[in-house]
Amino acid sequence: MKKLPRLLLFFGLVLCLLLAGCGKNSGGSSGTTIRGQIVINGQPAKPEQVNHKVWANDKWYLGNVISENGKFVHGNGLLDHEYCRPGSIVTLYFEANEVTAEM
Amino acid sequence: MPRGSIVTLYFEANEVTGAFRETYVYEYVVKKGDNNLGQIDLGLYGFGLTSPDDDVEIGQDNWPLEFKWTVYGRAGVKPTYRLNLNIPVLFTFVPIEKITEGTSVFINGNEKLTLLGLEFRLNQVQNWTVCVEYPAGDHTIRHYSESRKIKLNPPPTPEE
């Protein structure tokens, strides 16, 4: 019979966490996104042409890539919630790669 | 080359043609909801460094010294240019900076930078770059040119 109060306590705790919205930032689901498209002389850039990273909170956020049509979006990445929120000051960095073409 | 030879032609592009090596959306303040920055164009649009040449030493007879570049000719954009004379400090570079809307700027030889109580002078400069800066909607774009090595020997200042 002692198990019942513990079980109620456990479910109560789970319910409380859900209602409080715990973990709502862990996946960057705050609803704020930063997006755009990288072009080179008017033409959409390819992923291999451009490196991309973000400077915010006095550190670099690496591992960002642009898509095949040059588009990028922040807001759903693992650590995006740390800077992708209203009032944050971010610097987006884009580096044109060295490109080797072989035939 | 004898007829019937089988050849492989190899082409190498050292850089993405006609693009700035480094571009920043500089210190953007994130707003609530969808922050659509639109298109960010890395193209040079005619911009390039002109003089001094790469890897030169400037003697004491060449002052004031003019730094020159070509115009960033993208339609509808009137940029500000930032000449950065870069000095190595610890593991990074800090610039003595001159800002202009033109395509050249003169330095007299007495320019200096004070940082954390320390004074840095032109003879400590190792390279120079030009930053092309302009507003684009609610954000600021900064493109950085390639850097050119330089050794400056400015004339002695009166207190020296």
Residue with tokens 């800066």: B133
- Determine, yes or no, domain membership for A17: no
Using an 8 Å Cβ cutoff, are A85 and A34 in contact?
no
Q: A79 — contact with chain B (CB < 8 Å)?
A: no
pLDDT digits (tens, 9 = 90+) for B7-62: 545 433 345 678 999 999 999 999 999 999 999 999 999 999 999 999 999 999 99
Phi, psi of B123 (to 5 degrees): -70, -5
Count how many domains chain A has.
Answer: 1
pLDDT digits (tens, 9 = 90+) for B94-135: 999 999 999 999 999 999 999 989 999 999 999 999 999 999
Q: B73 — contact with chain A (CB < 8 Å)?
A: no
For residue B40, the Cα-to-chain-centroid distance in whole angstroms is 18
**Domain coordinates in residue numbering, chain B:** 22-30+44-152
Using an 8 Å Cβ cutoff, are B44 and A100 in contact?
no
Domain that holds residue A80: 26-96
> B46 to chain A nearest CA, in Å?
11
- Determine, yes or no, domain membership for A8: no
Q: B41 — contact with chain A (CB < 8 Å)?
A: yes
Using an 8 Å Cβ cutoff, are B21 and A94 in contact?
no
Q: How far apart are CA A70 and CA A47, in angstroms?
A: 7
- Determine, yes or no, domain membership for A18: no
| pLDDT value, residue A40 | 95
Q: How far apart are CA A16 and CA A19, in angstroms?
A: 5
- Determine, yes or no, domain membership for A50: yes
> B33 to chain A nearest CA, in Å?
4
Q: A33 — contact with chain B (CB < 8 Å)?
A: yes
Per-residue confidence of chain A (103 residues) as pLDDT tens digits? 455 566 555 555 444 444 333 334 444 446 899 999 999 999 999 999 999 999 999 999 998 889 999 999 999 999 999 999 999 999 999 999 865 333 3
Q: How far apart are CA A96 and CA B135, in angstroms?
A: 21
Query: In this complex, do A99 and B13 lie within 8 Å of one another by their Cβ atoms?
Result: yes
Look up the CATH number of domain B22-30+44-152.
2.60.40
Domain CATH for A41: 2.60.40
